[in-house]
Amino acid sequence: MAPNVGLGTQGPVQRGWGLWLTSVLAVVIAALFVAARLGQRLTKRSGFGMDDYMIIVALICSGLLSLTECQAVVYGYGRHWTSLPHDSRMTARKWFYGANIMYKVVLMFNKISVVCLYYRIFSVSTRYFRIVCHVMNGWIISSGLAFIIATVFQCTPVAAFWDRSIPGFKCFKNEPWWISYATTQITTDFMLLAMPIRQILLLSMGRAEKLGICLVFGTGAFVTFASIYRATTIASSASNPDPTWGPVPATIWSVIEANTGIICACLPMLRAPFVRLFGPLLGSHTRRGSTGRRPSHQLTWGSGQPRLGSHKTDVSHVLPAIDRDSEEGIVKDEDILADGRAISHSRRGSGIFVTNEFSVVTELEKKKRQSQCDGQDGDTLATSSVNEDKTDGKSPFYHV
């Protein structure tokens, strides 16, 4: 049979068209989001990170997943087994076998990308969170590879997956096998959703802004919903004796789950649409007061010099909304934790941290030299000048 992608096999009853349409549209939409994400990286000149490379690999694997699903539909997947000729049965099941493998590969790389994104954004906060990211990636890779290898060799011999006429074959039971994988993925999804919450709460921002950032990262909850809903279709699909008709609903939701995972992994880089839709809820306003005055920040000595005695934190850089439209803006705006600890770690290629130092050493030295030249009157002038800046024993501040 000639491979007419999208046409499917002819027959009175078939539901492969829904699978074909879902596979094509889902991967195209996912590709648009990945392209927007990479465009954002290039625009901000922040450089590609491991999270970007992993999401690109996930998109390529998703394209292969859609290809295998469409080809399975071409050869009869979505029609009743008894209505297909023998050659079409074998070919459709071969393509479906490939789709089973690619589905698990997509989810593995997608979840690795999410953890790498968390690491890129929040790793500067605590050593504990960096360890959590490494452990989480280890779990995703080990469990993912285990299920991929088990999928490849789920039947003995392997050809028994599509040809059950082979004598003495052995295969996994569909229902417990599919449910075990679905349970693992749902558990991992909940863990990924919970990972950034504590780090967001530590940021020095308003409660509404924290809620908004949580909503941006919480869009991955739809992936969890897709996983859960797919699990509800597994029981009926696995118990159906028709191998080309019964699993179609679960297969459709597998495609949705894989591609929505890619889309949700790109959303933190595309905060601009959220900012325009929800406004101040997502931190689209600056932190300036209603009077329009610029905030006061402590004036510090130069590098390696002691501070002028104050209990306030270092300068916090305030960015306008237009500069905080990506996930990097979240950290740029919040490089000071809520407990007052300044984040001093650097990040390769991200261009996230900007350090501004304000010094009064030059002025003091100038006045000191002037006082040495002018004698006693100059000494009095220098002392009074410093006292004017240091009113009531407080350290001087500079309006930024």
Q: What string of pLDDT tens digits covers the 400 residues of the chain?
A: 444 444 444 444 578 888 999 999 999 999 999 999 998 888 888 788 899 999 999 999 999 999 999 999 999 999 988 889 999 999 999 999 999 999 999 999 999 999 998 898 887 767 888 999 999 999 999 999 999 999 999 999 999 999 988 998 999 887 788 889 989 999 999 999 888 888 877 777 777 677 767 777 777 788 888 888 888 888 777 778 888 898 898 899 999 999 999 998 988 877 665 556 555 554 444 444 434 444 433 333 333 444 444 444 343 444 444 444 555 555 544 444 444 444 444 444 444 444 444 444 455 566 666 666 665 554 444 444 444 444 444 444 333 3
- List of residues 6+ apart from 102 with CB closer than 8 A: 61, 62, 64, 65, 68
- The rounded distance, in Å, linking the Cα atoms of 116 and 138 is 12
Which pair of tokens denotes residue 278? 């929800």
Length of the chain: 400
pTM of the entire predicted model: 0.69
Which pair of tokens denotes residue 117? 């994104």
- The rounded distance, in Å, linking the Cα atoms of 293 and 398 is 12
Residue 156 phi/psi, 5-degree rounding, is -125, 115
Cβ–Cβ < 8 Å for 269, 41: yes
Domains by residue range for the chain, with CATH: 16-280 (1.20.1070), 296-399 (no CATH)
> For residue 157, is the peptide bond before it cis, meaning its omega torsion is within 30 degrees of 0?
yes
- Where does 240-360 have alpha helices with state H? 248-266, 271-278, 327-333
In this structure, the number of other CB atoms found within 10 A of the CB of residue 14 comes to 21
